[in-house]
Chains A and B, each alone.
Chain A
Amino acid sequence: MKDAYTWAAIGLVIIASTTGDVLLSYSMKRVGDVAELWKRRGILAVVGRILATPTFTLGLMAMGIAFYSLLFGLSWGNLSLVVPASASLTFVANALAARIFLHERVSRRRWIAALLVAGGVILMAI
């Protein structure tokens, strides 16, 4: 039963953090280069523009769900399973989601990188 809880938590972390990353990345692309905006209009304009982007709030909520799922997972399962399993699968899920939803150019170079990093994270934990 503890195993099922652990994997359910891992699955939730992957789904929630991928959703959050995509929404946040989308929002920040709409806001534009933060440093340039800061230089031109000041910090309040930056914060205001970010908070006025509805997808940012949604992304933040998804990240909150991912964060608490990770805490749940860590309290049930081993650190050496929960962190690498959720982290490595999130890299692959994010590459897929970035291509589909953000229309990022996920070149062969980036696919290889995502798989290398995911595999490396697993090996580091063994």
Chain B
Amino acid sequence: MTLRKYLVLAGVTVFSTAGDSLLARGMKNLGSISLHNLSGLVLSVLSPFVATGILLLLAFFTCYMSALSWADLTYVLPATSVGYVLVALIAHFGFHEEISPTRWLGIAMIAAGVGFVAAGPSVTPCHETRDSRDASSENVTAGVKS
């Protein structure tokens, strides 16, 4: 794991959290959308909150694809949940919002989970890429058992 890879994982975290928050905010402003009114769903992208949210989610997607090109799905995915922790910590230390004991427990569980994964290997060694397909064939059997 190099600094660049940690930066990509940080991008996954920050962009997904910011994007989701803006989307949620935008959809709340629009109110309920029913199956009979599908045009409302399509037009929702014209709201500035939803539009900015989608742009940030595109940035997230770029980082996410980059991360998935060198790390396992089960390694990258927990990183996306660090955002919940960040939002709560910013709310508490930045805006002095109260955080209930259950939420502190949730923060601790997410942090512990992410720490668990981050301490382990980032990729299962048996994955084939186009360039290493021939070279890695002898590793395939080693990767299956666990």
Digitize A1-34: 1 where CB-to-B-CB distance is under 8 Å, 0 elsewhere: 0000000000000000000011011001111111
For B127, what are the chain A residues with a Cβ–Cβ distance below 8 Å? 29
In the complex, which residue of chain B has the Cβ closest to the Cβ of A108? B146
Give residues 42-57 of A contacting B (CB, 8 Å).
49-50
Q: Interface centre among A68, A99, A105, by most B CB within 10 Å?
A: A105
For A28, what are the chain B residues with a Cβ–Cβ distance below 8 Å? 65, 68-69
Bin chain B's interface residue count: 35 or more
**Cα–Cα, bound, A95→B20 (Å):** 22
B76 to chain A, nearest CB (A): 8
**Cα–Cα, bound, A66→B54 (Å):** 14
For B78, what are the chain A residues with a Cβ–Cβ distance below 8 Å? 91, 113-114, 117
Given contact pairs A28-B69, A94-B73, A117-B110, A123 touches B105 in the complex (Cβ within 8 A):
yes
Interface size on A, residues (CB 8 A): 50
Given contact pairs A71-B41, A75-B32, A75-B33, A123 touches B128 in the complex (Cβ within 8 A):
no
For A117, what are the chain B residues with a Cβ–Cβ distance below 8 Å? 78, 81, 109-110, 113-114
In the complex, which residue of chain B has the Cβ closest to the Cβ of A22? B73
In the complex, the answer to whether A120 meets B110 with C-beta atoms within 8 Å is yes
In the complex, which residue of chain A has the Cβ closest to the Cβ of B120? A109
Given contact pairs A30-B129, A113-B114, A74 touches B74 in the complex (Cβ within 8 A):
no
In the complex, the answer to whether A105 meets B143 with C-beta atoms within 8 Å is yes
Which residues of B pack against A, CB within 8 Å?
4, 20, 23-24, 27-28, 30-33, 41, 44, 64-66, 68-70, 72-75, 77-78, 81, 84, 88, 100, 102-103, 105-114, 116-117, 119-121, 124, 126-132, 143-144, 146
Instruction: A75-B27, A103-B143 are known; give 7 further A-B pairs, CB within 8 A.
Output: A24-B64, A25-B72, A35-B69, A98-B74, A113-B78, A114-B113, A126-B100
3 interchain residue pairs of minimum CB distance: A123-B106, A120-B109, A116-B113
